[in-house]
Amino acid sequence: MESFYPKNGRVILHIDANAFFASVEMAENPALKNKPVIISGNPEERKGIVVAANYLCKAKGVYTTMALREALKHVPEAVVIKPNHTVYKEYSKQIFAYLEEISPLIEYASIDEAYLDITACAHLGSPIDIAMKIQQEIVKRLDIPLSIGIAPNKFLAKMASDMKKPLGLTVLRKRDVERVLWNKPVVEAHGIGEKTAAKLHEHGIVTMGDLAKVDVKKVQAIMGVRGVRMRERVNGIDNRPVDPEANTSYKSIGNSTTFPTNIAEPAAIRVKLRALSRSVSARMKQKKAVSRTIQVMIRYDDFKTVTRSQTLHRDIQEEADLFVAAERIFFKHWNGEPVRLLGITAQNAVDKRTQTTQMDLFSFQEEADKLEPLFTAVETLKRKFGDSIIKKGLE
């Protein structure tokens, strides 16, 4: 199966639950299966907007955000249902839980879509095998159809999943970008809305191909750095990782690595644990997060996976602290067999800025002495250039 996976690239899935709210209502009430279904906030008074609609409605011109009265002109026989977000969240939770069984590298894009990095999942079959298994299993468990895009990066995977609905499965390779995407309107590129498309049209950029070929300086002048990124993406370039923490600033911040060859030497394992601790610490500092619950994941050669965690008496963020905790957890629970994958996660992380530091009189004075030169310099700058010259990071 390794032949289906690139040696130096990635394999990313974008999973999209089709007409999700309407699909959940039909799964909950099979009598709705062959009827047009609209989800709207005020079905009794027949007013408000369309929150979601199934494909029978969409085929007749109904779309999300359309006024309900207008939608009912298109499909007067539609069954209108008030949204039940508690149920939708439960279905979403079950879908994502299953995806996490496939790969821990999952990024939730919304309640009904996610990115899944399956680069290290060759043991489960080809990318198409994995995608088909996901579709079949979610239909079997929840009766929810999924469309899945398979690609070497997130942008192309998202574009691919949008191409065939419902229950679509599309592979989009970088070499196919010019043939498949460049003739499409630029507004269909994920990340470009109507207003941005209108601005691009003013400069003669109408299709994705136009954007792909436009001079970098020109698109930067029109859209800034975001324009340069979008130009790269319609050329098939998108280096963003699938980030399990992208949607939630904190909660859990972690990293894992699969080794080219299994390792069993304690010294080599310590080297890997330290590298992971360094990576997790850097991400925690970037997010200004701290945690006191550290989890270690161990995967053996037979793919058996063990996760163990420990709650500490204080919040930590530094590499050295993470390493000490992870090392202690690992060697307490390691069975001595060769290790295929290691992971470290800081669980239940919180914003460092919300945590209060306990200080006695002496430590308070010590901290004040450290900050005094900074305060003096700030006051000097303010006197010279005005109060607005420097602001605090949260202002």
- Whole-number average pLDDT of the chain: 88
Into which CATH architecture does domain 178-234 fall? Answer: Orthogonal Bundle (1.10)
Q: Which fold has domain 251-354?
A: Dna Ligase; domain 1 (3.30.1490)
Residue range 218-242: average pLDDT? 96
**CATH number belonging to the domain at 1-172, selected among 3.30.70.270, 3.40.50.720, 2.40.240.10, 3.40.50.740:** 3.30.70.270
Residue 389 has pLDDT above 60, yes or no: no
Name the phi and psi angles at 184, rounded to 5.
Answer: -85, 150
Structure tokens at 27: 């799964």
Residue 286 has pLDDT above 90, yes or no: no
Q: Tell me the pLDDT tens digit for each residue of 307-342.
A: 999 999 999 999 999 999 999 999 999 999 999 999
Q: Where in the chain is the domain with CATH 1.10.150.20?
A: 178-234
Label residue 368 by pLDDT band (50, 70, 90).
very low
Q: What is the pLDDT of residue 357?
A: 40
Q: What sign results for the dihedral spanned by CA atoms 124, 130, 136, 142?
A: positive
- In a 13 Å sphere around the CA of 130, the CA atoms on its Cβ side amount to 29
| pTM recorded for the entire structure | 0.65
Q: Where in the chain is the domain with CATH 3.30.1490.100?
A: 251-354
Rounded (10°) CA dihedral 181, 185, 191, 197 = 150
Q: Tell me the pLDDT tens digit for each residue of 93-145.
A: 999 999 999 998 999 888 899 999 999 999 999 999 999 999 999 999 999 99
Residue 363 has pLDDT above 70, yes or no: no
Label residue 371 by pLDDT band (50, 70, 90).
very low
Phi-psi map region of 113: left, alpha, beta (phi>0 left; psi -120 to 50 alpha): beta
List binding-site positions for Mg(2+).
Answer: 16, 112
Q: What is the pLDDT of residue 393?
A: 42
Residue 365 has pLDDT above 90, yes or no: no
Q: Where are the beta strands (DSSP E) in 25-129?
A: 37-42, 47-53, 79-81, 106-110, 113-117
Residue range 242-259: average pLDDT? 77
Reply yes or no on whether 113 is catalytic: yes
Task: Give the Cβ contact number of residue 303 at 10 Å.
Answer: 10
Catalytic residue, candidates 113, 202, 318, 337: 113
Q: Smallest Cα–Cα separation from 62: which of 22, 89, 24, 31?
A: 22
Q: Where in the chain is the domain with CATH 3.30.70.270?
A: 1-172
Residue 57 has pLDDT above 60, yes or no: yes
Label residue 362 by pLDDT band (50, 70, 90).
very low
On whether the CB atoms of residues 298 and 334 are closer than 8 A, the answer is yes
Residue 15 has pLDDT above 80, yes or no: yes
